[in-house]
Amino acid sequence: MTRTQALDELVTANRILAREGVVDSFGHVSIRHPDRPDRYVLSRARAPECIEVDDLMEFSCDGTPIDAAGRKPYAERFIHGAVYHARPEVRAVVHHHSPSVIPFSVTNATLSPVMHMCAGIGTRVPTWDSHATFGDTNLLVTNMEMATELAAALGDRPVILMRGHGCVVAGLSLRETIFNSIYLQLNADLQLKASGLGDITFLSEGEVAAVLRTRGAFTFERAWEFWCRRAGRPYDARAMDGPLAGA
């Protein structure tokens, strides 16, 4: 993948999250820099639905812009750097405030997969509460100290909630991370509905492990084509017909 393709896909990822209602004016998605693993790429501070390639900036893992060129960065960019620093295998990070997910961050109800497509969120998603260490703040993760604690709480999981705020999703590819962001939202919707009907049978740990073990890139690709169409973004059909098709 060329650098141009990578940036185009990051724009697409922003538009997809907006189209699917995972983000509104806030929330952001980054990729680890394709050539410089100590950097990440993230838009300037702008609503995801509006982002263009020229909005994309490079940052070092401590959140310093490489060449800001007058562009204002997100105040919470530190979340991304802290996760990339703590998790060398992670290639993409999303921070979002999905209205389906927030209710689970402010109650004792614990998100856990209720269907196979949502297994990627991991069993018993934890919640990080900034208040425990940092007290009364505006809840924004605006420095490396807070971001490092959040990344430590995330550990090697794919998802962590943030009390009264949102969540972080980290994954091995941009497609996987967008996929898990959207299915996290769906799982929250499903679990909320199911909790009104009675006790819930969640996926077993063995089932979650089996889904993750057998899921291939093709699953993410199929969803990516669909979401591109809904977001009005071009999709390179060769990806579906190429080597992935045999995966």
Of 180, 173, 130, 177, the C-alpha closest to 152 is 130
Find the shortest distance in angstroms from Cβ 38 to a second copy.
Answer: 27
Contact window for a second copy (CB under 8 A) among 34-42, 59-67, 148-156, 211-219? 211-219
What are 22's two structure tokens? 């995972």
Minimum CB–partner distance for residue 154 and a second copy (Å)? 19
Residue closer to a second copy by CB (options 86, 100) is 100
- Alpha-carbon distance of 161 to 20, in angstroms, equals 19
Using the contact rule CB under 8 A, the part of the chain among 31-39, 129-137, 144-152, 153-161 near a second copy is 129-137
Question: What's at 110, amino acid-wise?
Answer: T
Torsion of CA 82, 85, 90, 91, to 10 degrees: 90
Q: Does 211 bind a second copy (CB under 8 A)?
A: yes
CA dist 244 and 61 (Å) reads 32
Give Rg (Cα) of the chain: 17
For a second copy, what does the binding mask look like between residues 24 and 63, x meaning CB under 8 A? xxx------------------xxx-xx-------------
- Does 76 participate in catalysis according to the annotation? yes
Give the number of other Cβ atoms within 10 Å of residue 44's Cβ: 19
How many CB atoms are located within 10 Å of the residue 141 CB?
A: 28
Identify residues 156-185 at the interface with a second copy (CB under 8 A).
Answer: 163-166
Which one of 9, 76, 176, 221 is the catalytic residue? 76
116 binding a second copy? (CB under 8 A): yes
The residues in 63-82 that bind a second copy, with binding defined as CB under 8 A, are 70-72
Q: Which residues does the annotation mark as catalytic?
A: 76
